[in-house]
């Protein structure tokens, strides 16, 4: 694709503003837009916070308070979803659509976030972890009435559903409590399994595992399922209708919300859950796969046997590699997910063993991925204390290699100013180049990383720094190409 027009607003901040208003405005001024589909599911009881401070208080507790007094925001169409968790977590997990528990029977008490404040919206998706909120049972019973709201027919031929109205005005206080989502807890269980597999201590609280992965649900608003063939009157008109909504959010030639959040995050591993996400994620990365690309028509069980699959992203000054790991859906196919769980954990453990996922020696978690991030501290919003991982970012090995290749004094000064010796920078860059070519020739990569002493690496970089190198990517290609053809690779 053509390089995007760059602005001074970091992508992770720009996306908050874009996504927050995307569905809300398109729902009304663009009737024929694919995302007008979400109006079919109706409006649901929603809550807001009285002040920004309440979001910070929930953040301090990380898991949110067990009960919290919120502001009743009436019945609203649901807000679009952002990537949840730390933007620079080394592992990203992706299912296709956010769930909508109220749609299913006997879930009347669920209440959904409706924030018109960008700070609260941003921090809800940064720190919500594994839960949604419900109205407490006692408060719900005290305020429900005999009047009913009509909701669309359920999937697989269920009847039109009726839900009780509440005797609450907008702006009234409403008592809420946490309701943990089993699917998200299973995501956390994969990180727990990874830590067990590689010999790291496990945590006493499940909530702590959410530090080390982010999870993506398509930013379109929640719907009950993502199956055009099994809905009643509220469902998709056809498969093309469904695909147009998916493409709107995932593909970079459309709004690309998934793609651009992925670029900023630079995850070392992306765990893809379910057939629907498999079918949609593979085309997003068309042209980026190292070696043979996975086939959309292959079953997940076959893809697990055929891997590993890696993608190498190069766009402008962004360059990184990610492993794609396919898994059955944690809630859509729980029995099959349990069978695929050991494979996912083993694949993540492999990335840990070769140094792609790295422990943070200063704490129990993993290092953040390379690159800057302003999500928690920028000109639009800021959490108390800013970024909680500001001292736990992995060095950008690729950027280091490019800076060494161009040989510019300012580039070297940047590393020295950060307290990193040129020798250490060179050694890390050599290892990074080894990882970059290992999918095409693992044995050769191992040999040259072993052979490249600090002086040897510096000599090769100097030889590669010819006068016709005009940009970072050209410098990178020259260095890696020189290494591949060297006698060290043999």
Structure tokens at 31: 């009737």
Q: In terms of residues, how long is the chain?
A: 490
Q: Which is higher by pLDDT, 158 or 52?
A: 52
* 269-273 vs 213-216, strand pairing mode: unpaired
Helix (H, G, I), strand (E, B) or coil at 344: helix
Q: Which is higher by pLDDT, 348 or 446?
A: 348
379-414 pLDDT, tens digit each: 888 887 788 888 888 876 545 444 444 443 444 454
Instruction: Tell me the whole-structure pTM to 2 decimals.
Output: 0.77
Residue 343 has pLDDT above 80, yes or no: yes
The four Cα atoms 221, 222, 227, 229 give a dihedral, to 10 degrees, of -80
25-51 pLDDT, tens digit each: 565 556 667 777 777 777 889 999 887
Q: Are 356 and 268 in contact (CB under 8 A)?
A: yes
Cβ atoms within 10 Å of 423's Cβ, excluding its own: 12
d(CA 102, CA 252): 32
The domain locations on the chain are 11-353, 397-484
Contacts 24+ apart (CB under 8 A), 51-57: 52/117, 52/119, 52/120, 55/119, 55/120, 55/123, 55/124, 55/127, 56/123, 56/383, 56/384
Among residues 267, 273, 359, the alpha carbon closest in space to that of 321 is found at 267
d(CA 368, CA 351): 14
Looking at residues 121-144, what average pLDDT do you find?
A: 90
Distances (CA, A) of 250 to 35, 193, 243, 283, 459: 13, 29, 10, 10, 43
In 199-238, alpha helices (H):
none
Structure tokens at 336: 């099959």
């Amino acid at each position: 694709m053509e390089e995007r027009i760059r602005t001074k607003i970091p992508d992770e901040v720009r996306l908050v503003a874009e996504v927050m208003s995307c569905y809300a405005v398109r729902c009304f001024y663009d009737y024929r837009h694919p995302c007008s589909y979400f109006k079919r599911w109706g409006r649901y009881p929603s809550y807001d916070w009285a002040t920004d401070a309440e979001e910070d208080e929930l953040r301090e507790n990380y898991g949110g308070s067990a009960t919290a007094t919120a502001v009743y925001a009436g019945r609203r169409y649901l807000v679009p979803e952002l990537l949840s968790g730390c933007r620079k977590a080394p592992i990203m997990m992706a299912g296709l659509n956010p769930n909508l528990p109220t749609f299913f029977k006997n879930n009347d008490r669920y209440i959904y976030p409706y924030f018109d404040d960008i700070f609260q919206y941003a921090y809800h998706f940064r720190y919500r972890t594994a839960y949604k909120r419900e109205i407490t049972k006692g408060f719900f019973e005290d305020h429900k009435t005999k009047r009913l709201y009509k909701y669309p027919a359920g999937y697989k031929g269920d009847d039109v559903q009726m839900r009780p109205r509440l005797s609450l005005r907008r702006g009234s206080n409403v008592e809420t409590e946490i309701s943990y989502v089993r699917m998200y807890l299973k995501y956390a269980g994969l990180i727990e399994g990874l830590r067990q597999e590689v010999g790291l201590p496990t945590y006493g609280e499940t909530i702590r595992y959410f530090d080390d992965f982010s999870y993506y649900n398509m930013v379109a608003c929640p719907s009950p399922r993502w199956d055009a063939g099994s809905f009643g009157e509220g469902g998709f008109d056809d498969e093309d209708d469904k695909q147009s909504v998916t493409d709107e959010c995932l593909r970079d030639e459309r709004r690309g919300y998934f793609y651009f959040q992925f670029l900023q995050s630079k995850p070392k591993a992306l765990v893809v859950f379910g057939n629907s996400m498999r079918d949609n994620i593979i085309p997003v990365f068309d042209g980026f796969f190292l070696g043979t690309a996975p086939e959309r028509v292959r079953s997940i069980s076959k893809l697990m046997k055929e891997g590993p699959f890696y993608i190498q992203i190069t766009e402008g000054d962004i360059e990184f590699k990610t492993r794609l790991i396919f898994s059955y859906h944690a809630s859509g196919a729980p029995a099959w997910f349990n069978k695929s769980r050991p494979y996912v954990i083993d694949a993540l453990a492999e990335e840990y063993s070769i140094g792609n996922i790295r422990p943070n020696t200063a704490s129990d978690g993993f290092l953040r991925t390379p690159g800057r991030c302003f999500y928690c501290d920028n000109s639009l919003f800021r959490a108390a204390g800013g970024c909680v991982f500001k001292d736990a970012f992995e060095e950008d090995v690729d950027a280091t290699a490019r800076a060494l290749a161009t040989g510019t004094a300012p580039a070297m000064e940047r590393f020295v100013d950060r307290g990193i010796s040129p020798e250490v920078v060179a050694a890390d860059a050599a290892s990074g180049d080894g990882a970059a070519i290992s999918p095409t020739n693992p044995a050769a990569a191992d040999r040259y990383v072993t052979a490249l002493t600090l002086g040897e690496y510096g000599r090769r970089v100097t030889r590669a720094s010819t006068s016709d190198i005009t940009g970072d990517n050209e410098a990178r290609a020259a260095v890696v190409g020189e290494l591949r053809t060297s006698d060290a690779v043999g």
